[in-house]
Amino acid sequence: MEKISQFVSRLFLAQIFLLSGIFKISGYEGTQGYMDAMGVPGMLLPLVIVIEVGGGLAIIAGWQTRIISIALAVFTVVAAVIFHNNFSDQMQMIMFMKNIAIAGGFILLAVHGAGGYSLDSRHNVS
């Protein structure tokens, strides 16, 4: 049961990044415009997509989990600060706190590793 729950936890944590990255591909121009409007150069969008899709897939597979978890935690906090900093808007406050909670999950994953049913466990890294 422990190995299954570790895999499901990684899947739940990573799915938001994987889907978000895929949606950014299909809505590329709109996302690029939103980034520009928020003061983030839209030319960084390909990097964001790689981080979200690649990071999400890596977490699901349990590959380089500790390093990628730290990177995604930092990415998530930075995104919260840039895109969800209007605390007078209740929805933005909730989105900010959601990002902080996700970062907390990634920190736990970085500390404890991928667990069973992961590529890391095949190499005795977790």
Q: List pLDDT tens digits, range 69-80.
A: 999 999 999 999
pLDDT at 124: 61
Which is nearest to 126 in space by CA: 98, 117, 74?
117
Contacts of 95 (CB under 8 A, 6+ apart): 80, 83, 84
Q: Which two tokens stand for residue 12?
A: 């739940």
Q: List pLDDT tens digits, range 15-41.
A: 999 999 999 999 999 999 999 999 999
3 state SS of 40: coil
Q: What is the pTM of this model?
A: 0.92
What are the respective helix, strand and coil percentages of the chain, to the nearest 5?
Answer: 80, 0, 20
**Separation CA 95–CA 25 (nearest Å):** 21
Q: List pLDDT tens digits, range 42-96.
A: 999 999 999 999 999 999 999 999 999 999 999 999 999 999 999 999 999 999 9
